[in-house]
Amino acid sequence: MSLLQKTIRADVQATQAYVVAPSAGMLKLDAMENPQGMPAALLDELAQALKAAELNRYPAPKALELETALRACTAIPKAAHVLFGNGSDELIDLIIRACCMPGDVVMSPVPTFVMYAVYSQWSHARFVGVDLNPDFSLNMPAMLKAISANQPKVVFLAYPNNPTGVALREAEIVQIIEATPGLVVVDEAYEAFADASFMARVLEFSNVLVLRTFSKLGLAGARLGYAVASPAWVEQIDKVRPPYNVNVLTRIAVQFALEHFDAFNAQAKLLRDQRSVLTAALKTLRTPNGDVEVFDSYANFVLFRMPDALEVFEALKNKGILVKYVGKGHPLLQNCLRVTVSTETENQQFLKAVQQSIDEVASKAA
């Protein structure tokens, strides 16, 4: 056994780093990014704002100006506190580390965002996934039974869920909150596309935190997420936050975006409108080996199931179009693909290519 093998944790050696598919020169529809980018009319103004950044200084301990801008355009309860992270991914990690000792349980319905389980593993917590129903709705009896049996320290509820796009009902969230002995995190990464939020009720219960990110709105490269909860929860989670975790360029860029938030809301509306068009078009796809099953989405992506999904995925990639094959993620996702909602032009390019890919796969099998 080598020195490295003796030193690095066995569970780290047994896994792989998070894989990001190469996308140079591709139509990238695999990562739920906003395809529209910063509105062109604002780019010069943003450049001037970034020019003023004091890169020779550490960021201020609290991003107070950023928080003020956030509260001005987001319905955060006045008495709630805000904690910023380097993307919501970092905040998920911080929440688990703040709450869990080795062996403690983190729980979520599955399939869901894979990083809940990954960060649980790195904190030596035990992740318990509760299978959704075949239509990706919540299996409430199973969820409540698992909560009772495992007494989780943290329950994550993606609202709406990734990769399914399905949203919980608010009454279901309340039922889980009332049954959970620990913290319930309502992860609203796709809130801009969902027309539903638990934010207004975050202080109504003693064990709730709402998590959001700017990544889906068009600032994925800035890497900023934020958690909203009662002051007591934020105070404790803040203790495990690395100092200066949100850099000055991110703070300036996101504050600038918040001051021009109407432009980003308009982009989100365009994507919501295109989601309806894309969903309807996917339901018309023809395949000789069975129907295409399309799941209604409340996010900025659409999940659909078809025969030979992996072969269709590869055929699309050969055409320069990158979607996400999620069929290996969970048995309920067998033969499923997930596509990001994009502009009308890019959506039509994808729809033409996916039908061509279906036909090519069918002809090869004949």
Looking at the fold, whether 114 and 175 belong to one and the same domain comes out as yes
Looking at the fold, whether 90 and 238 belong to one and the same domain comes out as yes
Say what the pLDDT of residue 48 is.
Answer: 94
327 neighbors 308 (Cβ within 8 angstroms) = no
Looking at the fold, whether 71 and 206 belong to one and the same domain comes out as yes
Q: Is the dihedral of CA 343, 39, 273, 158 positive or negative?
A: positive
Q: Is residue 47 in some structural domain?
A: no
pLDDT digit string, tens, across residues 219-251: 999 999 999 999 999 999 999 999 999 999 999
Query: Of 198, 233, 259, which residue constitutes the final position of a domain?
Result: 259
Q: What's the whole-model pTM score? A: 0.96
Query: Of 259, 280, 314, which residue constitutes the final position of a domain?
Result: 259
Q: Which residues pair with 293 in a beta bridge?
A: 305
CATH of the domain at 230: 3.40.640.10
Structural tokens at position 279: 């969903």
Say what the pLDDT of residue 278 is.
Answer: 98
Looking at the fold, whether 134 and 197 belong to one and the same domain comes out as yes
Q: Is residue 45 in some structural domain?
A: no
139 neighbors 161 (Cβ within 8 angstroms) = no
Q: Is residue 310 in some structural domain?
A: yes
Q: By 3-state DSSP, what share of the chain in percent is helix, strand and coil, each rounded to 5?
A: 45, 15, 40
Structural domain count of the chain:
2
Query: Of 259, 285, 300, which residue constitutes the final position of a domain?
Result: 259
Per-residue DSSP letter, 321: E
Task: Collapse the DSSP code of 256 into the 3-class scheme (helix H, G, I; strand E, B; otherwise coil) and give the result.
Answer: helix
Looking at the fold, whether 293 and 247 belong to one and the same domain comes out as no
Looking at the fold, whether 268 and 352 belong to one and the same domain comes out as yes
CATH of the domain at 353: 3.90.1150.10
Q: Is residue 36 in some structural domain?
A: no
Residue the block writes with tokens 């202080």: 203
Give the phi and the psi of residue 259 in degrees, each rounded to 5. -75, -10
Q: Is residue 21 in some structural domain?
A: yes
pLDDT digit string, tens, across residues 271-290: 999 999 999 999 999 888 87
Q: Is residue 162 in some structural domain?
A: yes
Segments forming the whole domain that contains residue 88 = 55-259
Residues of the chain with pLDDT under 50: none
Say what the pLDDT of residue 366 is.
Answer: 67
